[in-house]
Copies of this chain bind each other. A is one copy, B any other.
Amino acid sequence: MKTDPDGSAPRVTTMQQVADELGISLSTVSLALRGKPVIAKETRERVQQEAKRLGYVYNRSAANLRQSRRTLVGLVVPDITNPFVGEVALGLQANLAEHSQFVVLANTQDSIGTQTEVIGSLIEERASGLVIIPALGTRAEDLRLLRDSATPAVLMNREVPDSGLPLIGTDDREIVRLAVEHLATVHGIVEAAYFGGLREAGPHQARKAAFDLELRKRQIHSAEAWNQPTGPNPAAAYAAARSLLHAEPLPPAILCHSDSIAIGLIRALDEAGVPSRSCAILSIDGIAASAMTTPPLTTVAVDPGHMGRRSGRLLLHSPDHDAEPEEPARPHLIVRTSCGCPAEA
């Protein structure tokens, strides 16, 4: 059905073939198919019918090459499986769809090597932009190809010093302030810990520092033993918490670096038979899953979906990638019951 009658190469139909079949010019076909009003309505319809009959399909990549237009935005992340990243991807994709851009996924597993590879490939593919949650330990020089290629890029969550790339981050000071304030004000907590998150990652350091500051300000004691960094997923948090439980007394309150961390922590506590009331748990992110834990998480929401949309906007609006850090999204506290607050009616 799609093989040439003469038995030659079974290629896909091209505009030229449509034109030949109709005995008209190639450019007429091009104009007709794009509905340019320059072409007589009747001609246009004949062209469209013939195109459909021959099974012609528009080759957008050829068109893009010609117009040096791009349709791909890379999303380079350590782990797609992370629900936070999932919500970012959704927001980004929604925003890009409005500009007929696609998001292409790239996993780095926090390996700088594969990160360099995928960024290179994405640049070669002429992506119109990149959203990057950098692999751990990424230095500015690891991102040099990016700058040299003049590909617009946005960093997310983790900053890369001297990279000159804009960062879509969170207002860590405010996040931690909201959390500690709640702990102090409504729960009268006098001792607390900051649990989880990758020590090497920017957000962890910023939040931990903010946490220490807030504690001092409010004269709350820091439960040092539980100020433990961990891997980013629930399983890692679970493992860390489990060890700690066997060795150290549980503080009366814990602020978790993310909802994922809190999920792992809760699992460990439950498994050890610790009643959930005995420790007030707060976390950060506000992913969908945070509403479905037992108990549901009181969390400082940062709206990852919105972060995704924002990075899309930033990418598509500033062709130059010089730093122009947008203001972080406004975090807000969602009170549920993991902190000890009563459930709502």
Residues of chain A touching chain B, judged by Cβ–Cβ distance below 8 Å, are 2, 12, 55, 57-62, 64-65, 71-72, 75, 79-83, 86-87, 89-90, 93-94, 97, 100, 102-107, 121, 123-126, 145, 148-150, 233-235, 238, 263-264, 266-267, 270-271, 288-289, 291-296, 343
Contact = CB atoms under 8 A, between A and B. Distances in A.
A270 B294 contact: yes
B238 A267 contact: no
Contacts of A62: 65
Contacts of A289: 234, 263, 289
Contacts of A102: 104-106, 121, 125
Contact of A83 (B83, B100, B125, B238): B83
A79 B102 CA distance: 15
Closest 10 CB pairs of A and B: A294-B294, A60-B124, A234-B292, A104-B104, A102-B104, A81-B86, A270-B294, A267-B292, A58-B124, A103-B105
A267 B296 contact: yes
Contacts of A124: 57-60
A121 B121 CA distance: 22
B107 A271 contact: no
Contact of A293 (B12, B89, B103, B294): B294
Contact of A81 (B2, B65, B125, B288): B288
A148 B55 contact: yes
Nearest to A260: B292
Contacts of A59: 124, 126
A55 B292 contact: no
A93 B81 contact: no
Given A62-B65, A83-B83, A263-B292, 5 more contacts: A61-B61, A80-B89, A102-B106, A267-B296, A271-B343
Contacts of A60: 121, 124-126
Contacts of A123: 57
